[in-house]
Structures are given as C-alpha cells and as structure tokens.
Structure 1
Amino acid sequence: MAWFGGGNPGPPPFPGFGSGFKSMYRAYSMVFSTKTSEEIKHGGKIIMPPSALEQLARLNISYPMLFKLSNSQHSRITHCGVLEFVAEEGRIFLPHWMMNQLYIRDGDLVELDNVSLQLATFSKFQPQTVDFLDISNPKAVLESKLRSFACLTKGDTIGIEYNAKIYELLVLDTQPGNAVSIIECDMKVDFAAPVGYKSPEPPQRMETDAADDPSDTERDTLIKEVLEKQGKFKAFAGEGQRLNGKAKPDKVSEEGSEVKPTRGIPNYNYRRGKISFEKAKNLNPHPPEVMDDDDEEDFVAFQGQGQHLRIRKNKSKTNHH
C-alpha cells in the first residue's frame, strides 16, 4: 500500500500508528536521575523519555499505562508502570530492585512493550529475612508501600523501605494471572514464613531419676486411692474432745446426723404471785464442771451462806444508856 497516492510505500506518517508500543532503551538506575523520592527509588514505576509519550498518545492503548520489561539475553522479564516522561532520549530509569530482577547493569539494553493486565484479586509474599517480623502491622505497611507500584509479577523480589531499612519480599503468587495490575483493586494479601524462620520448639520434659518417677501402674494406683478417699469423706465426722477430760456423750448417730434435742416441759404448777425456781438442765453452754446425777437431786436453790464486806456488830450487845 502506498501512502499519499502512488509510488513506493514509505514509512507511515506517524510512527507506531495502528500498532502496539515496542521499543529498546538503555536502562539506568535511579541514582542517575534527578528524582530522589522514595516512590522512585523503591516503587514499581519507571521514568521514560518524552518521545515515548508522544508515540503512546497516537496509539489505541488501555489505561493506566503498563509495560513489560524484557532482557532477552537472560530470559528475564518484569512489569512496571510509568511515573514521568522526563528522561533523556533513548534512556529509561529503573528502581534498583528492578534492575536486579532483570540481571542488567547501568547502560544495558532492555525491551519495553505496552501490555494490558487483569486486576489482582490475591497475592502472597515471602519476606527474605526474619527482620520483617519486627514490624507490628506488616499488612498495613505493605498496603501503604504498594501504592508506589502499578503491577506485580510472580517471581519478582521487590524492595520496600520502612523505618530507614529495606525489606525484600518475594512475590510467591498472584491471581488471576502471573502478572496483575494493582491499581484501584480489591486484593487479598497473605504472607509466607520468612526465609530462615524457625518455629519455636515445644518445652521439653525435665529428666528425673527412675526411682523418683513412678511407673504408670503405680501412678494409677495412687490416683485411685485418692479418689476413693474423696468419695468417703464426710464433713464434721471426726471425734471431738471435752475440756474436762471426760468422755464425750454420743450425740451423733452412725449415719452422721445429729440427734435432735428435746424441747422444754412447761411448768404446770405455776401459780399467780408465786415464783418458783426449778433447775434447768444443760442450759449453761460452758459449765465449770459436769454434775453427777446424785448432786442434781440434792440441789436446793438459794441455800448457801452469804458473806458481808464488813463485819457487823453483835446485835445481842446491851445498851448501857
């Protein structure tokens, strides 16, 4: 097909018109760029020349702009987004972790292709050092740092900076594909055990002498005896002692229930205006001595001899006056 009517076909009036974007660039680390922000050094986006933007604007591409970086010599690929179009012509600037992923050095040629990726639904990361466990909330930190990325590639080892320290994370899995876009997506994140992590061992049993450690049979016998004793236990079933040393009367039945005391008998000989005193048996809770039956029969109230504090004069003394 000839352009502009006849003659040999020449180049199209607009380079790349009607075709995908694909070009070769010399890659350099971000240290050669005038940009020094954390998003540029440790993110997942690159800096491209202005001519690339002009060519992309004439193409029917999907947004956001995503690219595949390839190193054909070592069969290494990764994916990235674009941050700015301010690089020198023929050059692109890459984060340090991306250059390690591609096995390239400053000035090496890489191939850049425009691609369209599906939105991520799941990703799994493995920290490369156990120091990552020192972060109190790793999911929140990773969510914050992934805002500097546009896409993820399975097998990449990305680097994030937190508290002036670089943590490397291996992308173990991405769904629904090996390369996914993470711009404005609802993605679940999971972590694998860090490299070199050892789970804590269960506590070991302390070694004891064979004589002190009873066998299983002896242990079962001891447990059985204790349970039998607990089953026969009755509260307040022990023998009591009296303060005067005499034998304690049997007030508890064999079944262990207390004998109910008899109630008092009313005075049927009561007469109005006459006070009578009868001995009340067993009413004193702390008697000095327990009286015998013979003493109780001879007892008469108010028959003792009284005493005066002062010796009274003899009443039989005559008055001489």
Structure 2
Amino acid sequence: MRRANPRSYDEYLKAYSMAMLPGRERENVSYGGKIIMPQSSLANLTNLDIESPWMFQLRNPTNPAASTHAGVLEFIAEEGVVHLPYWMMKTLRLNEGDPIRITGAELAKGKLVKLQAQSVHFLEISDPKAVLEQSLRNFSALTQGDIIEISYNSIVFGLLVMETKPGGAGINVVDTDLEVDFAAPLGYVEPERPKKAPPTTMASKLKIDLNSQSPGSSRPGSALSGGFAGTSTGATAVSKDGDHWESFKGKGETLNGRKTKGKGISHRKPEQVAEGSKIIHTDQHKIVSNSTLESEVKVPAALNLPYGQLFFGFNVATYVPPVVAPGSPQSGPQVDIHSFMPYNCD
C-alpha cells in the first residue's frame, strides 16, 4: 500500500516556548531540535499513514522568510498548542501565542554539517566533539542558516549551521553517519606564533660577548659585532656620504712587541676623473636615458655581395718598394705584394 505524501499534513497551532510547558524544565527539550505537539496531531499523522520518523517544516504565517525544520519529541501538549525550544522561537520571530504553520517534510539523510560557535568560550570545552555528538542526539533535523543552542555545564552555546550536505532546505540527522566540521568561533583571533630562537653558536655556549673587546688588547672586535674591526659598539664606521671611514683608533701591540696607535678618521676622497671619461665610479648613481644611448661611433656598413661571390678583403694600393742603389747593404730580394680581390666561385 502506497503511503501518503508527508506534505499532506498541514495545520496551524499556537506557538509557545518550552518554558510554558507544565512541569520541570528538561534540558534535552529546551536545548534541542524537537517540538512537543498535541494528541490530535498524532491522530492526524496516523490517519494519513505517514512514514516515521516524522519531520516538519515550521513557518511563520506573517513572515514566510522565517522557516526551519524540526522533529517531534512527544504528543503531550494542550490542544491547539505546540511547544518549541526558545532558539526556534527566535529563528521564526515568534512571540508567545503567535500562530505557526506546521507542514510535513521529507528530508534527505545528512552527510556533512559545518558549525561555527558564536562564542570563543566554546574552545574551553575539553572535548567539543564528544559534547556536540551527545547534544545532536536531541535533534532530528538541521537547517542551514539556523543558530541552534546546546547546553553544557549550565552554559548555553550558540552554533551557526554554516553548511549542510546535501544542500537544500534541511537534512535528516537521525540514524545517519554525519560528518561534523568546525569553523573558527566568531571573534576568534589567531594567536601570534613566537619567533624562532636564533641557532646556538659556540660563542653563546661559551658565553662570549662578540660586541665587546678586552681593554689593552690588540685583538680587534669580531666581524660579527656588526661594524668594522676595532670599532666600538654603536659607533658609526662609515659617514653618511661615504667619504671617510673610521679605522681602529685605540692602542695595541704588534706580534713583535711594537706599540701601535690607531689613525682615527681618514678623510681621503675618491680620485676625480675628467669630464667625458669612460670611468664610472660605483658611488655615483648611473641613470640611462635616450641621450646616453646616442654615440658617434661609426659602424661599418653591411656587405651585400651577389650570390656565390666571396669577400677576401678591401682594395689596397700596390706596394712599391723604394729604389735602392746597387751595392747598398739594404739591397736584397724584392717582394711583390698583390692586393686581395674578390674571388668569384662561379
């Protein structure tokens, strides 16, 4: 026998929060995703032969955009009344006694849900996954965009349903293998990571201060101290314009025992070059422009020879040796030098 469509169940009731339910307040009712309906609703569901578990879509008749999904916990409410958790009342923008429309729904089995805690205090829970697993047992359905509420150690935590798979109106979380993913809580700031300590050196192990030097010693300061050898800590070794530098200015002693004394500051400037010189000092900033690219150097023209013709040189005048008198010591065999001419391979 074919069962009825869940959407065939559709009725209007008056909405009240769980706090208006007679008897002691139950945590699994106030902080869950199930509602309490009257016995007449159970009779209607039974007559329609709708397959359980029963899922419902809850809507505000005066605000169609306000909608969520829920399951049913019990049928003990007064006739014409339905009790909802307080977070559902806020989601649907309902006040006590406002009308609510309840329609049967068929939701797909959920595979994944991504939640975001609305307070950083949620991170103080030692095992949030176990707490959430226990709390989700009080829910039958989850709707994307809802801010559900759970209670742990008398503290209420709000959780935003950021994403559901499969996507759509809502998902069924009853008897399903649901994967839960957490986003960073609202207002959470990533702590700054401490800077990595510098690597250990032999000087640090032996507690040697590389920025100091022994008085009266000829050993200059270490090159690791950040300046020129022999300079005191914090002193400027090179001037702002780079035209002088400060050498070792203390007193010392050479290996053969001779006393030495530093010369202090040298004001020697680089040698100036003539204007138009090709020498470029590294302390001068070079700027290339269109004018600097122009040159008067003449480049030989390209050789445009006919096909099959080779070039062996330019035409030169025939060398004529000077006339030497007979019997002169400069007399000797004459050499006739011919000019190189183009040779045709054809």
Matched to 2:55, the amino acid is L
The answer as to 2:180 corresponding to 1:189 is: yes
Q: 1:132 to 1:221 in 2, by over 3 A?
A: closer
The farther-off stretch of 188-197 and 18-27 is 18-27
Q: 1:175 to 1:18 in 2, by over 3 A?
A: closer
Contact 2:120-2:185 at 8 Å conserved across structures: yes
* Rounded Cα–Cα distance in structure 2 between residues aligned with 1:18 and 1:31: 29
Partner SS state of residue 42, structure 2: helix
What pairs up with 1:1-321 in 2 under 5 angstroms?
A: 20-35=8-23, 36-74=25-63, 75-178=65-168, 179-203=170-194, 219=224
* Rounded Cα–Cα distance in structure 2 between residues aligned with 1:115 and 1:200: 44
Q: 1:155 to 1:109 in 2, by over 3 A?
A: same
* Rounded Cα–Cα distance in structure 2 between residues aligned with 1:29 and 1:156: 17
Residue 241 of structure 1 aligns with which residue? none
Partner SS state of residue 86, structure 1: strand
Residue 7 of structure 1 aligns with which residue? none
Contact 1:18-1:60 at 8 Å conserved across structures: no
Displacement of 1:58: 1.0
- Tell me, which stretches of 5 or more residues in structure 2 are unaligned? 198-209, 212-222, 228-346
Q: 1:154 to 1:52 in 2, by over 3 A?
A: same
* Rounded Cα–Cα distance in structure 2 between residues aligned with 1:183 and 1:140: 17
Displacement of 1:43: 0.9
Partner SS state of residue 85, structure 1: strand
Contact 2:61-2:99 at 8 Å conserved across structures: no
CA deviation profile, 1:209-243 (whole Å, cap 9, x unmatched): xx96xxxxx55999xxxxxxxxxxxxxxxxxxxxx
Q: 1:147 to 1:136 in 2, by over 3 A?
A: same
Contact 2:118-2:186 at 8 Å conserved across structures: yes
Q: 1:17 to 1:130 in 2, by over 3 A?
A: closer
| TM-score, normalization by structure 2 | 0.54
Q: Larger % of strand: which?
A: 2
Contact 1:53-1:85 at 8 Å conserved across structures: yes
Q: 1:17 to 1:173 in 2, by over 3 A?
A: closer
- Tell me, which stretches of 5 or more residues in structure 1 are unaligned? 1-15, 213-217, 223-321
Q: 1:164 to 1:65 in 2, by over 3 A?
A: same
Contact 1:19-1:59 at 8 Å conserved across structures: no
Runs of 4+ residues over 4 Å off in structure 1: 16-19, 218-222
* Rounded Cα–Cα distance in structure 1 between residues aligned with 2:141 and 2:6: 25
Q: Which has the higher contact order (CA 8 A, sep 6+)?
A: 1
Partner SS state of residue 8, structure 2: coil
* Rounded Cα–Cα distance in structure 1 between residues aligned with 2:128 and 2:6: 45
Contact 1:27-1:106 at 8 Å conserved across structures: yes
Q: 1:174 to 1:19 in 2, by over 3 A?
A: closer
Contact 1:127-1:193 at 8 Å conserved across structures: yes
State the superposition RMSD in angstroms. 2.8
Displacement of 1:37: 1.4
Displacement of 1:72: 3.5
Partner SS state of residue 196, structure 1: coil
Displacement of 1:202: 3.1
Q: 1:205 to 1:176 in 2, by over 3 A?
A: closer
